[in-house]
Amino acid sequence: MSPKPAVLRLEDVSLFFGDTAGLDHVNFELRAGETRVLFGEAGAGKTTLLKVALGLLKPDSGKVYLFGQDIGGMTEQELFDVRARVGILFQEGGLFDSLTIAENVAYPLLNQRVLLAEAAANGGTQRPVEERVQEALNFVELGQTLEKVPSELSGGMRRRVGIARAVVTGPALLLYDSPTAGLDPITANTIIALLLKEREIRNTATVMVTHRYLDGHLMANFRYNPSSGKMERASRGQSEAATVKFCVMKNGLLLFEGTEAELQAAQDPYVRKFLRHGSS
C-alpha cells in the first residue's frame, strides 16, 4: 500500500529570533490521517512550528510544504487560499473580542476567499452559514451561546469555541496549540474528548501541542464512542497508536520522534521529564 500523501512537511527549517532559536534545522512530516503530539518546555519552539507551518512566520532557511505546495515564496494573498484548508486553535484562543460567538465561528466561512468561491460555485447546494455555525457549536456542546461575546465565557468554553471555529470549515489539517493549557483536569479531558470526537468523525491530520503527557496518552489509546458520547479505551484492533506519534522539542530542536512505546523507552532525561509529568 502506498503511503498517504504528506499534508505538512518541514525540510530543514530554521528560524531564529535574534540569538534564540525558534526552530533549529527541523524536519517534520505529517501524512493524512496521522496525529502528532508535540511536547516541549515553554519557549521550545512548539508554537513557532505551528506558525511556520501556517506561513504566519517565515523561516530563515528550509522549506515548508503544505498540501504538497511550497509556501516559501507565496504572497500573503496566496497563503490565504492554502490556509483555508487548515483549522487552527490558538493558545490564547485568538477569538475576536468584538464579535459574538456565532460571528467568530462564522468568520472563516465569510472571509476565506476560496471557501466563498466554492460556496458561489455550488450555488444553492451549499448549506447556509448559520446552519454550519450552529452545527460546529453543537459539536463542542455550546449550541446555546451564539449571541454571547467571548468575555462572557469561561476559559474552557472559549477554548471550545476556538475548536468550533477551527473545525467549521472542514479542514484537511488541524493544528491545536496547547488546547488544555491552564484548564482544570476535568475541563481538559472534555477538550481532549472533543479532539477525539473530531478524529472519529473526520479523521483529519492533526498536530497537537501540549504540556500534559496525559493528553497524548489519551489521543494514542482512546477513541470517542459516538453512541455513548464518551471516551473509551480503543481495542487492540482499532488502536490509534500506529497513527499517533510523539515529538519532543527543546530549544528549537526536534529532539525525539516516535510512538508512545518508544517515548516510554527513551533514556534522555529531558524527554523522560514529560513522562514524569504524566504520572504525577
Partner 1 sequence: MLDFLKLPVQKFQDFILLGFSAATNVFRSPHYSDDVFLQMDAIGVGSLPIVMMIGFVSGVIMAMQMARALQTYGAEGEVGKIVSVALVRELGPLLTALLVAGRNSSGIASEIGSMRVTEQIDAMRALGTDPIQKLVTPRLIATAFVLPLLTVIADFIGLIGGFLIARYLLDIPTSQYWTSAWQILEYNDLAQGLIKPFVFAIIIAMVGCFYGLRTTGGTQGVGKATTTAVVVADIWIFVFTALIGRIFLYFA
- Kindly state whether residue 117 participates in binding partner 1, applying the rule CB under 8 A: no
Considering the rule CB under 8 A, would residue 45 count as an interface residue with partner 1?
Answer: no
| DSSP β-bridge partners for residue 257 | 247
- Would you count residue 111 as binding partner 1 (CB under 8 A)? yes
Q: Taking the complex as a whole, how short is the minimal distance between the CB of residue 49 and partner 1, in angstroms?
A: 14
Does 76 bind partner 1 (CB under 8 A)? Our answer is yes
Choices 18-26, 110-118, 206-214, 217-225; region in contact with partner 1 by CB under 8 A: 110-118
Judged by CB, which is closer to partner 1: 142, or 220? 142
Q: Say whether residue 16 binds partner 1 (CB under 8 A).
A: no
d(CA 178, CA 90): 8
Cα–Cα nearest to 91, from 191, 184, 200, 176: 176
A 10 A CB-CB count for 276 gives 10
Distance of closest approach, residue 50 Cβ to partner 1, in angstroms: 10
Strand 35-40, strand 205-209: pairing: parallel
Interaction between residue 56 and partner 1 (CB under 8 A): yes
Cβ nearer to partner 1, comparing 85 with 273: 85
In whole angstroms, the minimum distance from the beta carbon of 276 to partner 1 comes to 29
Quick one: which segment of 29-37, 111-119, 245-253, 257-265 binds partner 1 (CB under 8 A)?
111-119
Location of C-alpha cell 508535540: 38
55, 64 Cβ separation under 8 angstroms:
yes
Any long-range contacts for 135-140 (C-beta under 8 Å, 24+ apart)?
Answer: 135/168, 136/105, 136/164, 136/165, 136/167, 136/168, 137/101, 137/102, 137/105, 137/161, 137/164, 139/164, 139/167, 139/194, 139/197, 139/198, 140/164, 140/194
The vertex-13 CA angle with 10 and 17, nearest 5°, equals 135
Q: Which of 86, 119, 157, 254 binds partner 1 (CB under 8 A)?
A: 86
Rule CB under 8 A: is residue 160 a binding residue for partner 1?
no
Of 155 and 229, which has the nearer Cβ to partner 1?
155
What is the rounded CA–CA span in Å between residue 222 and residue 62? 35
* Position among 12, 60, 92, 130 found at the interface with partner 1 (CB under 8 A): 92
Q: Which of residues 176-215 bind partner 1 (CB under 8 A)?
A: none
- CA 57/CA 72 separation, integer angstroms: 10
- Contact between 97 and partner 1 by CB under 8 A: the answer reads yes
Is residue 274 a contact point for partner 1 (CB under 8 A)? no
CB of 247 to partner 1, least distance (A): 21
Binding site for partner 1 (CB under 8 A): 51, 54, 56, 76-77, 79-80, 83-84, 86, 88, 90-97, 107-108, 111-113, 115, 165
